Amino acid sequence: MSNQRMQAYYDVLHRTPKAITFEGKNSEIFGENVFHTEVMREYLPSEAFKSMIKSVENGDRLDRAMADQVASAMKDWALTKGATHYTHWFQPLTGATAEKHDAFFKPVGPGRAIERFDGDLLVQQEPDASSFPNGGIRNTFEARGYTAWDPSSPAFVIDKTLCIPTIFIAYTGEALDYKMPLLKALHAVNEAAVDVCQYFDKNITKTIATLGWEQEYFLVDKALYNARPDLMMTGRTLFGHASAKGQQLDDHYFGSITARVTAFMREFETESIRLGIPVTTRHNEVAPNQFECAPIFEECNLANDHNQLLMDIMEKVARKHDFRVLLHEKPFAGVNGSGKHNNWSLSTNTGVNLLAPGKNPKSNLLFLAFFVNTIKAIHDNADLLRACIAGAGNDHRLGGNEAPPAIISAFIGSQLTELLDNIEKNVKAGKMTPEDKTELKLNIGKIPQIMLDNTDRNRTSPFAFTGNKFEFRAVGSSANCAQAMIILNTIMASQLKIFKTNIDARIGKGDGKDEAILKELQQMIKDSKKIRFEGNGYGEEWVKEAAKRGLSNLKDTPRALQVWSNKKYHKLFDDLNVLTPRELEARQEIEFESYVYKVQIEARVIDEMVQNYIIPAAIAYQNKLIQNVQGLMNVLGDKAGKVAAKGQVAILEEISEHMNKTMDLSAKMLASRKKANNLKGHEEKAVAYCDNVKVFFDDIRYHVDKLELLIDDEEWRLPKFREMLFTR
């Protein structure tokens, strides 16, 4: 091992698990750092408390006097938690969260100061956050960006700072973040869903979208991480020969967790629980050093804030434990990548999960209506779902043989397939007799409750029904869930509105309500059939079958992002007041740009590593071999020496061959990069980087990985896969 690698490895071997800092019950600390309802009740005068609750529940605006009272209560509470600063906490389009801290402290005279925080500071601020991506929105008008309080997500204290969840908008009111369109999408789906629920139950006056995410991640020791420029710069390894043992034995999956990892998990979990994030599940994942964490599901906006917060906490706590957490979708070629399953459903103020089969024909018809509407929404907007999970990292995962394919389809299981087939065949055209209706209702009534426990699980589907919710499995591990949730809730809202219009039209023509619903469902089942797929989504067969069905297969990010240019989608988002065409175009620009930067950085790192690590190692080892060959010839004479050095010479030649190919390909890639950089638009650049630059990555890697196998371990300075994946 080279000295550098040896030192890193030595560091890892000598680490001891950090002490577990909290030994008590989770129930005792749950939400203790959150300004939740009970705390508000304690700190707020009763009138202010009531307005605050109304504002949380209905999104009503708080007036100035009330906002002052809330701010003052928040401050008083935060001071008891040791907070010295406050910040508006927001989610710019970088995908990360942002904060700018200000002190409560305010000098008011010589040697005199107070702790100050008022309604104005709570409700709105103007951070000079002009460097965040804005897709041109802030250049043309005023450059100002505002953050505005989102009372529906409670404030919290972290690291002695009071954090206030906010939206981030331009001076002109356009969204510069994920939260604002998410809130609008949630509003739209609520309205549309309530209207449909009204056919079934007049008591349903509110619905909420629910989200339960499952976060996958890798852990790597910090010393090994720091010895890999690619991990540091891009979050993934660009080179590295697969270790002899990978995940083939499945011995890591659900395996026992080591003391060091447990200490890390315990700490980030207790931090999360203090912040009200209900994390309950943890286990080892399939790949070595890969793990998963999942909470109980929550209302979508809150769940999303909680996922963003959790990713932050994980990063911070990992450092304390001398780990680095990898949220990249594919940190290591050859073993599984990481996703973030988004479990999604809709529930009502009456306590019904709209995607859970009911107990009788009536409630089952309600379930079926929402179930079939979801499938139809997916069918009609499959490309949008593909677009919302696009990103340079996820490209390595989608379509790999462990992740959902880039083809969007929905899995529903055999029982529901049977039921939909039944409706498709047996709803009669024309007037239905009472017998017809009874028969159908009987069938619908038969969806057994137990289905919940034994729905077949198809892990190869990007969008699977799992008994009482849909699981969107194609979301990338580093993504902000909001991106997927904005799309899913918006297309659902749009579909439900169409559904209502059609039902009303059928009723207008004389159909009874149930009859109208059944006939409409039948039509939708027919129209959306091709999106349903129950087979193996990883197989080559499916790619062919999907093409035959006319489903899209958008293989890379630039192609997926082009979907956003479709005017049909502009209208859909505009009509529902979620995003204007201008906001959509800006987002598309930002994503093209971000893709270019990511691939560009990877290409640069590849070049650097080839020059500074790979070639020098190859030359050093060749020199050793040359010395040996020359020595043999000195001692044995030219002829006998050559015979004796046959193996060494073969290695020398092989190294030269791979070295030459590596350098040659790097030079070609550089030329391609220059060309791509000269292109004008972000879209053209993204396509060029994808088609003409990124294509070199695998070829270069092939030769570098061969060199890793050939070259003396002494000379190899980059930590190898076996070290990064099997030490912890």
Chain residues in the site for ligand ADP (CB under 6 A): 210-212, 214, 294, 296-297, 341, 343-345, 353, 466, 468-469, 471
Task: Rank residues 461 and 478 by Cβ distance to ligand ADP and give the closer one.
Answer: 461
Residue 41 CB, nearest distance to ligand ADP (Å)?
27
Residue 479 CB, nearest distance to ligand ADP (Å)?
16
124 touches, from Mg ion, ligand ADP, none (C-beta below 5 to 8 Å by class): none
* Residue 690 DSSP symbol: I
Q: End-to-end distance of the chain based on CA atoms, in angstroms?
A: 19
User: Which two three-digit tokens encode residue 370?
Assistant: 């929402």
622 touches, from Mg ion, ligand ADP, none (C-beta below 5 to 8 Å by class): none
Chain position whose Cβ is nearest to ligand ADP: 212
167 touches, from ligand ADP, Mg ion, none (C-beta below 5 to 8 Å by class): none
- Check if the beta carbon of residue 474 is closer than 8 Å to that of residue 389: yes
SS (H, E, C) 284-350: ECCCCCEEEEEECCEEHHHHHHHHHHHHHHHHHHHHHCCEEEECCCCCCCCCCCCEEEEEEEEEECC
284 touches, from Mg ion, ligand ADP, none (C-beta below 5 to 8 Å by class): none
d(CA 476, CA 493): 24
DSSP string across 369-437 = HHHHHHHHHHHHTHHHHHHHT--TTGGGTTTSTTS--SS--EE--HHHHHHHHHHHHHSPSSPPPHHHH
Residue 158 CB, nearest distance to ligand ADP (Å)?
22
d(CA 410, CA 470): 9
d(CA 172, CA 141): 7
Residue 196 CB, nearest distance to ligand ADP (Å)?
18
Residue 470 CB, nearest distance to ligand ADP (Å)?
9
CA dist 294 → 184, 190, 208 (Å): 26, 25, 20
422 touches, from Mg ion, ligand ADP, none (C-beta below 5 to 8 Å by class): none
Helices 300-320 and 179-197: crossing angle in degrees, nearest 10, is 140
The dihedrals phi and psi of 212, each to the nearest 5 degrees, come to -125, 110
Task: Rank residues 409 and 495 by Cβ distance to Mg ion and give the closer one.
Answer: 409
Quickly count: other Cβ atoms within 10 Å of residue 231's Cβ. 26
Does residue number 673 form part of the binding site for Mg ion (CB under 5 A)? no
How many residues form the binding site for Mg ion (CB under 5 A)? Answer: 2
Chain position whose Cβ is nearest to Mg ion: 341
Q: Which of residues 312-341 bind Mg ion (CB under 5 A)?
A: 341
Q: Which of residues 207-226 bind Mg ion (CB under 5 A)?
A: 214
340 touches, from Mg ion, ligand ADP, none (C-beta below 5 to 8 Å by class): none
385 touches, from ligand ADP, Mg ion, none (C-beta below 5 to 8 Å by class): none
Residue 192 CB, nearest distance to ligand ADP (Å)?
18
Task: Rank residues 185 and 333 by Cβ distance to ligand ADP and give the closer one.
Answer: 185
CA dist 702 → 238, 567, 668, 699, 710 (Å): 11, 42, 16, 5, 13
Residue 287 CB, nearest distance to Mg ion (Å)?
16
212 touches, from Mg ion, ligand ADP, none (C-beta below 5 to 8 Å by class): ligand ADP
Q: Which of residues 340-359 bind Mg ion (CB under 5 A)?
A: 341
415 touches, from ligand ADP, Mg ion, none (C-beta below 5 to 8 Å by class): none
CA dist 375 → 97, 346, 443, 465, 598 (Å): 32, 14, 20, 10, 34
Show Cβ contacts of residue 726 under 8 Å, excluding neighbours closer than 6 positions. Answer: 243, 245, 288, 289
297 touches, from ligand ADP, Mg ion, none (C-beta below 5 to 8 Å by class): ligand ADP
Residue 253 CB, nearest distance to ligand ADP (Å)?
12
Residue 186 CB, nearest distance to Mg ion (Å)?
22
Task: Rank residues 43 and 472 by Cβ distance to ligand ADP and give the closer one.
Answer: 472
Task: Rank residues 341 and 673 by Cβ distance to Mg ion and give the closer one.
Answer: 341
354-362 CB contacts, 8 Å cutoff, 24+ apart: 354/193, 354/197, 354/207, 355/465, 355/468, 355/469, 355/470, 356/452, 356/467, 356/468, 356/469, 357/447, 357/448, 357/449, 357/451, 357/452, 357/468, 359/449, 360/445, 361/441, 361/442, 361/444, 361/445, 362/200
User: Which two three-digit tokens encode residue 690?
Assistant: 């994808």
Residue 343 CB, nearest distance to ligand ADP (Å)?
3
Residue 334 CB, nearest distance to Mg ion (Å)?
23
Q: What is the three-class DSSP state of 660? A: helix
Task: Rank residues 471 and 683 by Cβ distance to ligand ADP and give the closer one.
Answer: 471
Task: Rank residues 297 and 597 by Cβ distance to Mg ion and give the closer one.
Answer: 297
Task: Rank residues 163 and 356 by Cβ distance to ligand ADP and give the closer one.
Answer: 356
Task: Rank residues 39 and 356 by Cβ distance to ligand ADP and give the closer one.
Answer: 356
345 touches, from Mg ion, ligand ADP, none (C-beta below 5 to 8 Å by class): ligand ADP
* Stretch (H or E) spanning 114: strand 112-115
Task: Rank residues 317 and 475 by Cβ distance to Mg ion and give the closer one.
Answer: 475
Q: What is the three-class DSSP state of 59? A: coil
Task: Rank residues 344 and 573 by Cβ distance to ligand ADP and give the closer one.
Answer: 344
The dihedrals phi and psi of 135, each to the nearest 5 degrees, come to 60, 30
Task: Rank residues 67 and 354 by Cβ distance to ligand ADP and give the closer one.
Answer: 354
489 touches, from ligand ADP, Mg ion, none (C-beta below 5 to 8 Å by class): none
Residue 278 CB, nearest distance to ligand ADP (Å)?
8
Query: Which spans of this chain sit near Mg ion (rule: CB under 5 A)?
Result: 214, 341
